[in-house]
Amino acid sequence: MSARRVLVEIMDEYDIRGRVEFAEEMETRGFAGLTMAEVAGPDAFVVLAMAAAATKRVTLEPAVAQCGVRSAPALAVSAATVQDVASGRFRLGLGISSKAIVEDWHGREWSPPMPHARETVELLRAVLSGEKVAYDGRVLRSSGFRLGGGAREVPLHLAALNEGMVKLAGSIADGVWLNYLPRAAAAEVTALIDGAAVAAGRDLPTKLLVCYVEVTDDPPAARAQLRDRLAFYVASPAYRRAFAWHGFESEMADAGTRFACRDRAGVLACITDELIDSIVLVGSAGEVRDRMEEYFAAGVDEISVAPLTRENADASLTAALAAQGELRY
């Protein structure tokens, strides 16, 4: 049975002090946890450490830290630091990132995603054990590093998009982050995760989902904003493959052609209302709650909601929180 925890993403409209105040408010309102995206700043570990010092009960997690641009020892040091501040409430969400971000933004070599993900989890577990590390993998190597302060317990959650990574994450991680997952595909994907865990002889991992939420009486306006944001993701071949896997083959084939021609208007046209409505929580408060119920019923354990607009954030968060029910820490 789903754990039915509702998390909230720290909104990027705030400055750093405002984000910490937002974290305090969300704990008071009853959310189970806080997440923070890592793209181009501010530093998620720093903000989450500040939020940890200002809160008492909520879990805190980057969703997700990019292991394609950080070494595993560096990730372990950051995670251990925040875990010490959070007194055990921190969880490390990890993602491979994208070739454009790794190579163009950071000037690092792009590694094969599956081996990189597997080896990152393996090396992180070795580092967090507190022992001196001697690791020599296909992608990652580390020799002689020992984490200061000794071992730390940090749950490792791995982001997964396409089938191969979904199965890998289910077999090695403590939790699996999903993104832009159509509700109609959720049961299939959570079953793949659980099946991979069983085959690997592991406990079932937590299934987590990040999702935009907007309570509004003007869904077309919300869809227009979302269409513009989704264009960034549809430009990625990995996301196009994922959406095609979940039933939007023709739209994604067309989007790939349009993107190759630098036809932004054409790419936007491929992001249909049907696609948008399948992956976000937009509409009345009742519709938001009903769509969250569909995800929970399909096996998702935790949903991190990201308010689309600041002006509707209060109503959106109230509706999302109602889907959690009474929270027991």
Contact of 186 with 298, CB cutoff 8 Å: yes
User: In this predicted structure, what is the pLDDT of residue 2?
Assistant: 56
Burial class (CB in 10 A: 0-12, 13-18, 19+), 46: middle
Residues 6 or more apart whose CB falls under 8 angstroms from that of 149 comprise 80, 84
Number of neighbouring beta carbons within 10 Å of residue 216 = 21
Kindly indicate the confidence band of residue 211, based on its pLDDT and cuts at 50, 70 and 90.
Answer: very high
Q: Which residues of 261-289 are buried (b: 16+ CB within 10 A; e: fewer)?
A: eeeeeebbebbeeebbbbbbbbbeeebbb
| Segment 50-55 mean pLDDT | 98
| Segment 197-210 mean pLDDT | 98
CATH architecture of 5-213+284-322: Alpha-Beta Barrel (3.20)
Contact of 238 with 161, CB cutoff 8 Å: yes
Burial class (CB in 10 A: 0-12, 13-18, 19+), 260: exposed
For the segment 58-106, what is each residue's pLDDT rounded down to a tens digit?
999 999 999 989 999 999 999 999 999 999 999 999 999 888 888 888 8
Query: Which is more confident, 210 or 105?
Result: 210
User: In this predicted structure, what is the pLDDT of residue 329?
Assistant: 47
Question: In the chain, which segments carry CATH 3.20.20.30?
Answer: 5-213+284-322
Kindly indicate the confidence band of residue 1, based on its pLDDT and cuts at 50, 70 and 90.
Answer: very low
The Cα–Cα gap between 142 and 158 comes to 21
For the segment 162-191, what is each residue's pLDDT rounded down to a tens digit?
999 999 999 999 999 999 999 999 999 999
User: In this predicted structure, what is the pLDDT of residue 124?
Assistant: 98
* Sign of the Cα pseudo-torsion (248, 253, 258, 260, in order): positive
For the segment 6-24, what is each residue's pLDDT rounded down to a tens digit?
999 998 889 999 999 999 9
At residue 245, what are phi and psi to the nearest 5 degrees?
Answer: -55, -35
Average pLDDT score, the chain? 95
